Structure formats: C-alpha cells, structure tokens
Structure 1
Amino acid sequence: DVDIVPEAEDNKETNRRLDEISDYILVKMQETGIKCLWGTANMFSNPRFCNGAGSSNSADVFAFAAAQVKKALDITVKLGGKGYVFWGGREGYETLLNTDVKFEQENITRLMKMAVKYGRSIGFTGDFYIEPKPKEPMKHQYDFDAATAIGFLRQYGLDKDFKLNIEANHATLAGHTFEHDLRISAINGMLGSIDANQGDYLLGWDTDEFPFDVYTATMCMYEVLKAGGLTGGFNFDAKNRRPSYTVEDMFEGYILGMDTFALGLIKAAELIEDGRIDEFIVKRYASYRKTEMGKKILANETSLEELSAYAEKMGAPALPGSGKQENLQNIVNSILFG
C-alpha cells in the first residue's frame, strides 16, 4: 500500500492516491498480461507501529491498521491477487516487563479474523498467508518460524483460511534451512507461497539477496514438487547490493533469481526421477512395515507394557542403520554436476 504511493496526512487522501495508482497498475496489467500474486499492507515502517499493528497497545493504532488491511484487500481483489499476506514485522515484543503476550496474540487474531470476514464478503477467494520471521525489527516475534506460525493458526482457528508464505532468509534467521520450513509447512498442509531470496550466513540480519545458491534452489523446488505444488507462487523479495546501482544491475538481479530457480526446478525433477533418495528413505523406515512389532506400532495396536516386555526379550537393539548422509549428498552432486 504505502510502498506504491506516499502516505498522506490523513487516511482518506492516502486511499485516493491508492485508487489512482491501482487504476494505472490495472491498465498496465491488462496491457502486459502480468498478474498480481498477492497483496499486503505495510504496517511496520511508520513510527505509529513501533509496538506492532494487531499487537499494538493502542486501540487507535489497531483501528488504523485495520483500515490499511481493508484498503489493501480492496486493491488485491481489484487487481485479481491470488493471496493476501500478513507479515508481522513488529508483531512481537522487546521485554516481558511491559507486555501481555496472550492479550497481544488474541488481538492479532481479531484483526486476522476481521480480514477473513471482509475479504470473503468482497469476493476474495484466495488464501491468506502468514510470513514467519524470528526477529528484526522486534526482538521476539510471534511468527518465529513455520512450526510456530502453524501452531498459532491452529490454536485460534485460522488454519482453514491461512497458509504460510515462506521466505528463505527468514528461515535461516530462525536457525533453519530454507527447505526445513518448506517441509514443515508442506506436511501440515500449510505451504502456500514463497519469497525467493537468500541471506548471508555470516550476518545476523535480513539481507534479502537475489538467490544464486543452486543447492538451496534445488532443495526448495524438490520440496515444492514433493508437496504437489503451491496455491500461491514465487515472489523475489530481494534487492540489489548497494554498489549494484545501475538499471542493468536491477535486471541482472531478477534474471539471476529466475535462472537460479529454473535450474533448481530442473535439477529437483531429476532428483525425483532418479529415485535413489526416495528409495533410501523407504528402506530406512522399513522395520515399521516389515516386522510384526513395527506394524503394531504404526497401527496403534500396542502399549508401553507390551513394548517393555518386547524390549526385555530382545536385549540390546542393533544400531538403527547408517544414515548414509555423505552418499546422499554425493547423489545430489552427481545430479547437479553430472
């Protein structure tokens, strides 16, 4: 919203400016065939959001945030957006000494439920997304990672309308690999959309670089293919490095990102077609499918008492089998580099 027009002194004028620029964007979309992936509202840059939007201690700030969400949803529907993203840039806290965490999380939920109700009332049929991030700008952010965000959505009954928008750099800031948060989202039916970028592993902040790591792109696309695809799409939440300041640099950045993920998609498909990784994983858990006790465990037909008696008769179990990590990594290299 306020990323595409300068914010005015009052909300009415800001909305007029948004109407004007979104009319222009719609014309350009019709001329080019370019589509809108999703919409969102910037509820973190202005100092009024120093304590968050939905999580703010001020009812007036909460109301202003709600007005921004309403207008952003209007424009998202107008431009045919497939999704709507909540990035809780400041939905969190600095210290528990001045914070009612339960109150703030419940208020965030109230804002999100209002957004769902309004969105559906104006014809928005897409998914709403939460974009997890562990920190920066706040010290503790409520949507820390995929698992935390999924738990939040389920706790407050939002999981029917919401999925996750996973960003690579946010996953690594949370101490995870990109593919970890993708897998956690996918196995919970919550993989919605992707912010395709990368961070610097040596820096502790969000650098939002254009992706060039083919390993990471390959494993990302591997997760997407194994999940059966996305309801959303890929957004390059990235910017050129400061010394790359020419128009050509901007184009090169997007070309780099697209080529990196295109190659990642090709190599991910080859990994799946190769079949050796899937075959190893099936074999690794074979004892649960091929032994009597393993079958009983999977069928929920045993108990601690029975398993304890089984363990006494068995004695010490054999080692569980090699994880073959180096062998599997070598398979990935052979697919990537022949």
Structure 2
Amino acid sequence: MAAQGEFFAGISKIQYVPSAAAGDVMCFKHYNAEEVLMGRKMEAWLRFSVCYWHSFCGTGADPFGFPTLQRPWNEGTPMESAKKRLGAAFEFFTKLGVKYYTFHDRDMAPEGPTLEETNRNLDEMTDLALQLQCQTGVKVLWVTCNLFAHPRYMNGAATNPDCHVLAYAGAQVKKGLDVAKKLGADNFVFWGGREGFLSTHNTDVAAELKHMANFFRMAVDYKEKIGLKCQFLIEPKPKEPCKHQYDYDAMSVIGFLKHYGLENHFKLNIEPNHTTLAGHCYEHDIVLASAFGMLGSVDSNTGSPDLGWDTDQFPMDIRNTTMVMKTIVEQGGLQPGGLNFDAKVRRESTDLEDLFIAHIGAMDAFARGLRNAVRIIEEGLLARMVKERYSSFSDGIGRKVEEGTASLEEMETFIKQNGEPKVTSGKQEKYESIFNHYI
C-alpha cells in the first residue's frame, strides 16, 4: 500500500484562504467547510465526492487520441496498479479534504477470466479500501457496477436480448450490492450505459423495458434480503453510447418507475452534462426531479453544448451552481446523496497538481453557488414574485383546480360569469435581472 505523500509529494492539505490572490489556485477562496448557512455547515450542504474512474483510472484518451496522462499509480500488474491507485486516491481525498468517494466495481479491481476470480480481486481490494476508510474517515457516497464496457454487454445488460448476458449482469450487481454493504455506501447507482437501442429494426422495445424493470425488482429484493441500508439511484442519459437510451432524461425515468411500480424504491442521480445532451438547460433535470421528490444525488460536472457530446468537464459556471444549489437548499439538502465530481481534467492538463486545481475550482464554484442560493432564499423576493404569479389558485375556482375538485362545467360557468381573462406579463426579464443581482 502506498505511503501517505508518495504520489502527491509537495502538496499539503488544501486550506481555506479567502484573502488569496487570483493566481493562488492551490487553496479554497470560497469553500469553508465549517461555515454555517441556514443552520447547516457548508460541508453538509455540499457533501462533495471524488469519482474514482476519471480521477484515478483516466488516461486522457479520447475517440481521437491516445492516452496523455501518465500516472505513477498505473504501473505494474493489474492488481499491483490497483493497490497503488487506491493509495493515491486516499492520499488525494485526505489532502483535498473531501469526505466521500464513488467508484465502479471495475475501477476498484481488475476483471479476471472467471466471475470467481473477478470477485476475489474485488474482495481483496475492498478489504484494503475498508481499512483506509477506517483510517481516514472518508466514506463511500455510492457504488455502481460497470455493465457497459466489457464486450459481453455490447447489446446491453438488463435489456440484452440474450438472457445469459442478463444473468451475468445480475451476478455482477449481486456482488456490487454486497460490496456496497461491506463498505457502508450511502447509495447505489444504476447507469444504463448500453440500455437502449441503435436500431428499432432488431429491437423489441416493450420486452426490453419489461426485462429492465424485472432486473431492478431483483436488485430491490436482494437489497432487502441482505439488509442493505442505502438509497437506489438511476442516472439518466439520452444518448451515447446508444443512439437512444431508455433513461433519456428525468421525466423518462420517473415515468418508467411509475409505470412499473418502482417509484418508491428509486430516486435519480442527475448529471447536468447528460441533461444538456438531452436538449435541456443545465438545471432542467435537477429542478424536474426535485419537483417530484425524486432528486437523490448530483453528478456535478458540465459539458460544452457546442460540441454535442459528453465531455465531463469540471463545473466552474457560478450561474449554474447557483441554480443547482437553490434547488437543493429548497428541498432541504441531498443527504444521503451528494455532489459527486463525475468530471475529468482535460487531456491537455497533464500535471498531477491539475487534478487538485480542478477539484478546488469546482468546490469553490459550488460554495459561491450555495452562498448565492441562500441569499436568494433568505431574502425571498423571487419566491414572493412566483407566489403572486400563481395567486389565482389560492381561492375560488382556482382553489378547486388546485385541490383537483373542479369540473369542466364549473370552468364554463366561471367564464360565462367573468368573461375573457386579462393576460398578464410573465416579466421574464425582470426575474432574470433580479437573479443576476445575486451572482
């Protein structure tokens, strides 16, 4: 196991220095973990998590270029590098000062030629991870299973037309749930990387959706059987790698869950980069999921909409982080979910310190967003304006509509008595100007 300081020598624990100059990027200028806002510490509102796959397994490779990130922990046999990687990760977590991390099963340990060997590798690595968790106090925000990278899953996992493949995915998830319990994970995420279709000509959509629902029921049953106390999350994405993925966006997933009677067992893990891929604005799926009481966690990243693909960049836009944190604070927080940095440094950012700089900048961006959101909520101007805009539903016929007791006959009677409605301005520019006041 790597010793503390071996991989990030010369970098000490990141400090909060609000007076730091613009060029000082190895300290927090805005994120103050102990600062209390609306009765809760900043670290409790934000619950930051570092993802294993991008930060420690990433190589900088993309569809057009070879790896550019030569990491010292990726040397040796697969299990040797896995152990080095684990040591580097926990050194990073503790120096950055985050309390949580996330991983896929195949990030933590290499796959072997058989399921039995694969599981032994995972057992060995998670034994080491548990030791480091106990030593450092860092916890698992969520675990997930990689059901998309191996060639066996090229036609999907839970939606595969071959039940043999679906069975393998089930065996893998069973082990993943065992690992989640072992490590005390707060959540378990399902991301359907290959759950969709490339062509409707060879796809039975109804059968695949039913099989996926039944797969989720098996996971729910096993979770209850082993006494796993964690939240199940589904992560929407509209495309990539499939032409169309069944978990297209928040509303698609919510509709799926309600159709199959699974809505009480799952919430959503929203990734804004996926939201923009679906053609929505950055905060769209976060707001929609929260409105239905289904927002469980956030993969805190961003993308470049002009590129049109999933770039997984670190979130640095204060307007975006303010909108996200406003929704989170209004729903009372994300616990047991959090803000997981499902983001990777650019393939051109090759220095080890760039990994720290990226996370520090994103954490500061969310700290600023949190402070902005708290001011907006505490001052209440926007909320009062919205309330006034919908005030016609507070009494009379509007109250009956609100309560679901109105009829079309009553609508007709009301119009005959009151005539043509007076159209009122939506005042969009006023709302936007007021919002900008807080940024």
**Shorter-normalised TM range:** over 0.9
Ranges in structure 2 where 5+ consecutive residues have no aligned partner? 1-104
**Does structure 1 conserve the Cα–Cα contact (< 8 Å) formed by 2:181 and 2:229?**
no
Q: Mean alpha-carbon deviation: is it higher for 159-168 or for 114-123?
A: 114-123
Q: Equivalent residue for 1:256?
A: 361
Match of 1:324 among 424, 427, 430: 427
Offset, 1:46: 1.0
1:161 aligns with 2:270: no
Q: CA separation in 1, counterparts of 2:365 and 2:415?
A: 50
Q: CA separation in 1, counterparts of 2:353 and 2:220?
A: 40
Offset, 1:178: 3.1
Q: Equivalent residue for 2:348?
A: 243
Q: Equivalent residue for 2:204?
A: 100
**Normalising by the residue count of structure 2, what TM-score does the alignment of the two structures yield?**
0.74
Offset, 1:323: 1.6
Match of 1:32 among 130, 136, 144: 136
Q: Equivalent residue for 2:192?
A: 88
Q: CA separation in 2, counterparts of 1:32 and 1:162?
A: 30
Q: CA separation in 2, counterparts of 1:131 and 1:7?
A: 24
1:334 aligns with 2:437: yes
How many residue pairs end up in the alignment?
334
Q: CA separation in 2, counterparts of 1:112 and 1:279?
A: 41
Offset, 1:301: 4.1
1:283 aligns with 2:388: yes
Match of 1:311 among 397, 415, 418: 415
Q: Equivalent residue for 1:172?
A: 276
Offset, 1:313: 4.1
Greater helix content: 1
1:22 aligns with 2:117: no
Paired residue type of 1:36: V
Q: CA separation in 2, counterparts of 1:268 and 1:229?
A: 12
Post-superposition Cα deviations, 1:163-222, rounded to whole Å, max 9, x if no partner, equal: 100011011111112322112111212111110000112011110001101100010000
Paired residue type of 1:5: A
Q: CA separation in 1, counterparts of 2:233 and 2:250?
A: 11
Q: CA separation in 1, counterparts of 2:297 and 2:399?
A: 36
Match of 1:201 among 302, 305, 317: 305
Paired residue type of 1:73: L
Q: Equivalent residue for 2:149?
A: 45
The Cα RMSD (Å) is 1.3
Q: 1:152 to 1:248 in 2, by over 3 A?
A: same
Q: Equivalent residue for 1:186?
A: 290
Paired residue type of 1:244: S
Of structures 1 and 2, the one with the larger relative CO (CA 8 A, separation 6+) is: 2
How many percent identity over aligned positions? 49
Offset, 1:307: 1.7
Paired residue type of 2:383: D
Offset, 1:298: 2.6
Q: CA separation in 2, counterparts of 1:186 and 1:303?
A: 29
Q: CA separation in 2, counterparts of 1:19 and 1:234?
A: 27
Q: Equivalent residue for 2:107?
A: 3
Q: Equivalent residue for 1:56?
A: 160
**Normalising by the residue count of structure 1, what TM-score does the alignment of the two structures yield?**
0.96
Ranges in structure 1 where 5+ consecutive residues have no aligned partner? none
Q: Equivalent residue for 2:234?
A: 130
Offset, 1:306: 2.7
Q: CA separation in 2, counterparts of 1:102 and 1:284?
A: 42
**Does structure 2 conserve the Cα–Cα contact (< 8 Å) formed by 1:167 and 1:178?**
no
Q: 1:12 to 1:101 in 2, by over 3 A?
A: same
Q: CA separation in 1, counterparts of 2:251 and 2:149?
A: 26
Q: CA separation in 2, counterparts of 1:113 and 1:139?
A: 26
